[in-house]
Amino acid sequence: MSEIKKIGVFTSGGDAPGMNACIRAVVRTAIFKNIEVVGIRQGYQGMLECNFWDMTARDVSNIIHIGGTILKTARCLEFKTAGGTQKAYENLKAHGIDALVAIGGDGTANGADRLSRTFDIPVMCIPGTIDNDLNGSDFTLGFDTATNTVIEAIDKIRDTAASHDRLFFIEVMGRDSGCIALHAGIAGGAEAVLLPERETAIDELIEKLSSQAKNKKTSSIVIVAEGDKNGGAYHVAARVKEKFDFYDSKVTILGHLQRGGSPSSFDRILASRLGFAAVKALLNGRTRQMVGLRGNAIVLTPLEEALNISHFKLEDDLLEMINVLSI
């Protein structure tokens, strides 16, 4: 591996709270190590369009608390083609970029892995996704903030649910991952949680709600991950209402509210640690790895392992607790 003199940093895919804090850490760590930094606006699309920004330490002042990403983000189908990947690499080399730090989810990491393997350019990936669904890190960047946003909404909805003896179905993000739904369900005291990873029959849900009603529960909250096999909160609510009319049922879709907002202290610190570690790993000759948090230690995981979704699973104790604590 040749000496690294200039690092490119970019965000790609869905935005996540804490991305700006991570960009800040990458830029300032690299500059402290006498390495130039180029911000690549709009991810892989920016590579194809030479949308490059030579960054200084002052360019990342006062962004640690801001949600979203100052580098913008976009999805780029052209980059997935052989010609698109070739063009991106040629643009990077023409601008003198020797290595990359990619901040995003599985699509971002897959693209970085393919680019690195094809053209032997060093890359380090940072898991920036609210879904918390990458191996090699207990928490992904933005997950804590997104979950706290959901919990705040649950708390407010519960107030009105209790006041009117209502059953609320709250749909949260999670097309393939139920992490937000599960953690928010535990923290928000939900009566039931429907997850993509575990199919829940409507009859089973109705039986549970009936049992809780017999135990004198006059209001309930059901969290539904958007990828639940029953078809989402509106569909679940309609099917439950057909067979169970004890409650006045309402549906709330939280949607992209979960992506925005100022990152939590946890996400700001995590972002700073991951960005700092990614630059150090590149300068130590590491490549095609994801920087993550295990316990309280920063660890490096090969991208092939980090992207292996078959190894990812939800916490067994939380899955059991949902039933035990909602009686």
Greatest Cα pair distance, the chain, in angstroms, is 70
Residues of the chain falling short of pLDDT 50: none
DSSP assignment of 137-148 equals -SS-BTHHHHHH
Q: Please give the distance of CA 179 from its chain centroid, rounded to a whole number.
A: 10
Q: How far is CA 251 from CA 46, 187, 271, in A?
A: 39, 20, 34
List active site positions.
131
> φ, ψ for residue 312 (rounded to 5)?
-90, 135
pLDDT at 92: 98
pTM to 2 decimal places: 0.94
pLDDT at 310: 61
SS3 of residue 68 by DSSP: coil
197 contact partners, CB below 8 Å, separation of at least 6: 177, 178, 313, 314
pLDDT at 1: 54
pLDDT at 311: 58
